Chains A and B, each alone.
Chain A
Amino acid sequence: MNRIQKKIWMLASVVLIIMAIIWIALTYYNQKTQNQYNDILQRYLSMNEVTSTSQKMVTDLNNYLLEPSENHMDNLDKSKDKLNMAKLEIGKLRNSENEFALMNYMNLIDSLIETTDRSLMFYAESDTETSNKEFTEATRLSKYISEMTLTLIDTELKTYDVFYRGIIDQSGEFKKLGIWLMLLITLLLLVITYWFSLSITRPVQQLTRAANELSAGKFDKEIKVDSNDEISFLAQTFNRMRININNLFQEIQQKAQLEHELQQSKLLLQESQLKNLQSQINPHFLFNTLNTLSKKAYLEGSKETSDLLVSVAGLLRYNLKWLDKSVTLQDEVMVIQQYMNIQKARFTDRLTLHLEIDQSCLEVQIPGLTLQPIIENAVIYAVEPREDGGQIWLRIKDDDNMVRIEVEDDGPGIPENIRLQILDGELVETNSASTGIGFTNVVKRLRLFYGLENVMDIQSDIGVGTTVVIRIPKTRGIEQHAQTLDR
């Protein structure tokens, strides 16, 4: 994960390699040109060497002839050797252009050496005249050699003219090449550097933008950095942090909501307790009185009145006792039967209650006093206003893992807007003919108790009737949740 470092190294090596290549090419070319120049110079120098050595030899010969000494002899020998060497050097300069001339040239040198030898020989034999003649010839030969050198150099210039011009042109081209190459490399380096710097700064910019957004509180936008270096690692870490923060945030929000709901349920409970308290001015007095009345009625032979009073007392006790506790559906059904007993006494045969109960469902837990207000409601709106009375159906059915409770009446029905208001829990009841706990209260309590929104549904057709459907789970899934809240 040392990508940025790697990138920098790469850039540096590319630059280095380019520079090295150029340097090597230049050095190579320079060396080549240098060699060419050296060769050319060497040619001229070799030729010139012959001229000067041959002249030197003739001078040495002259010196010796004038004054024959060891010293002069040595000099003569030396220059002879040198001339031979020079001849060998000249031999290397042969090419197809100067072959003939060069051969002549070398033979001339030979002739000069031979003539010199002859001159020496005749001198040794004291044939001074012949010796001098040979010396004259040697002088002439030396002159010829000089002239021929010039001719050769001239030929050389002509032969190599194209070559020399080529070298000059080439160096001109090379200068141009230098300029173009420099421009090209500059441009390339600029582009590479730009691209390179972008590859580092762009992810940083992206990261900065993401950080800005994060600091502005937008936790739900994913941080994406298209790079493969340390910045990307940083971005990934940053993104994880964002997700964590986001999760925590949501959790806190959820908790707050739950707390809010809890508070609300407490408030509702308090409200019903308050209502309760209002109606329990002196419950024991009422119980006692009702019991006394019941016994009195019984003794007086009014069995019906006695039963009615017992029902009222039971209902009252139930009301006081189970309001803040969950009860079984069985208890609820019992309360409803007591309630219906009372109402039957009031409405006689105007009210008919039909019970369709699946006994296996009666063990289900349900908040206390939930069905009674609904039935009461049905009685108040569907039975009470009608001369010929009404019918109420209470059905408890097994519905897979739910229990379906239906309360149906054949009353005038509820207008749509009110139906919705009830379901939304917004309706404030004004009719105070109930036992105290309103419909809305029931709806909210059910929702809170089961933690489900669609616990209750109301179907109503105007003039046909109203059906309230409550669907409660058999096992109370929310139980644990509720316990958590209770803590």
Chain B
Amino acid sequence: MRKAGLIFLIFICIFLSYLTFITAQKAFQSDWKLPAASTQKEDSFRIVLITQELDTPFWDKVGKGAEQQAQKSGASLEVWGSYGKNQDDFLKKLEVAIQSKVDGIIVQGLDTDRFKELTKVKAAFYGIPIITVGNDVPKAESLRKTYVGSNQHLAGMMIAKLMLSDMGQEGQVILLSDSQKEHYQEQRLSGIKEVLQSFPNIKSIYAETPETREQVIAKTRDLLNQYPDADGFIAVNANTAGAMIQEIGRRGQVEPYFIYSFDDGSESMTLLNQKKLDGVIEQSPEMMGRKSVDVLMQWLKNETVPLDADGYSSEIRMIKAMDER
């Protein structure tokens, strides 16, 4: 009896010691770590990539490419931007970047006065190099160091040719651009028009619309009313393609129309997969990102001065809806 009691007591003692030990270990041992102390070298370059459309497949790829390249060349890069082409927010980000005295800014070009003023005056004042990516703004207006991205004029020509090969050399084509008249759209248009000029049987109708969805829909409706015989559509601003197709679809079949756009819209690839778009011009966003960082680093390290003001073109390809299947 006494022995049993003793064993019981020892058992309880061991049990309690074990529990105490376990909890003590948990209480005194912290497995969470504070963030590591600053590892960045003082002289590593800080680069900001600013876009107007965060979280779209196209710009995500640009960001990814840029980050890869930045890591490779030992620069620290952050992707800033606005959502859904919020210009005020975008410009504010740009200004903050300039005022934060980053070492270089890679920015999606925006063809507005405020943008030009910021790049021309502010950035130049602080001596911050600016590279446009994806969309260009002419050097004279923005004092950008260079442009990295597709040759938009060539892209316009390609899309026109693509349409011609599908539609034939006769028909009515509606070119829908947005009212911003951004530089890259102008260039695409000029490319399209250059091709279409040599085909007198093609009648091209040029239309402009503000970028909001409702307005695009309204404009499309107007256009369909005005030109019921239209055979093809080209959404020069890829972001308008979705709303445009939606309206056309409401009217009737989407199939008979030849609809083309570019891949830098948030819905472009989805629409292509649904065969609602007959073809897109695919650019190389990842390459753009990589190249832009690479070029900027070259400039920052004084390896290539000055940079090619005409820009560095990235690849463009045509994709037809059939190819995708």
Contacts and interface: CB of A to CB of B under 8 A. Distances in A.
Contact of B26 (A101, A173, A187, A191): A173
Contacts of B33: 163
Contact of B78 (A100, A111, A165): A100
Given A29-B28, A144-B96, A180-B23, A191 B13 contact: yes
Interface string B23-48: 11011101111111111100000100
Interface stretch (A102-110, A218-226, A353-361): A102-110
A261 interface: no
B197 interface: no
B27 A100 contact: no
Nearest to B100: A104
Given A103-B100, A177-B26, 10 more contacts: A99-B38, A107-B101, A108-B96, A110-B101, A144-B92, A144-B96, A159-B35, A166-B32, A176-B23, A191-B9
B215 interface: no
Interface string A149-186: 00000000001101101100110011011001101100
B20 interface: yes
A369 interface: no
A469 to B, nearest CB: 65
Nearest to A148: B96
A97 B27 contact: no
B38 A181 contact: no
Nearest to B96: A144
B239 to A, nearest CB: 27
Interface residues of A, number: 39
A177 B21 CA distance: 8
B101 A187 contact: no
Contact of B35 (A96, A148, A166): A96
Nearest to A156: B35
Interface of A: 29, 94-101, 103-105, 107-108, 110-111, 140-141, 144, 148, 159-160, 162-163, 165-166, 169-170, 173-174, 176-177, 180-181, 183-184, 187-188, 191
30 contacts: A94-B37, A95-B36, A95-B38, A96-B35, A96-B37, A96-B38, A96-B40, A98-B35, A99-B38, A100-B40, A103-B46, A105-B100, A107-B99, A107-B100, A111-B100, A144-B95, A144-B96, A160-B34, A162-B32, A163-B34, A166-B30, A170-B26, A170-B30, A173-B27, A176-B27, A177-B24, A181-B20, A184-B16, A188-B13, A191-B13
Contacts of A176: 23, 27
Interface in B63-79: 76, 78
Given A94-B37, A95-B38, A96-B39, A141 B19 contact: no
A95 B38 CA distance: 4
B7 interface: no
A384 to B, nearest CB: 81
Nearest to B16: A184
A451 B101 CA distance: 131
A177 B23 contact: yes
A478 B40 CA distance: 117
B102 interface: yes
B17 interface: yes
B16 A97 contact: no
B207 interface: no
A101 B93 CA distance: 13
B34 A100 contact: no
B12 interface: yes
Contacts of B101: 104, 107, 110-111
A481 to B, nearest CB: 57
Contacts of B100: 103-105, 107-108, 111
Contact of A96 (B19, B36, B97): B36
Contacts of B13: 184, 187-188, 191
Contacts of B102: 104, 107
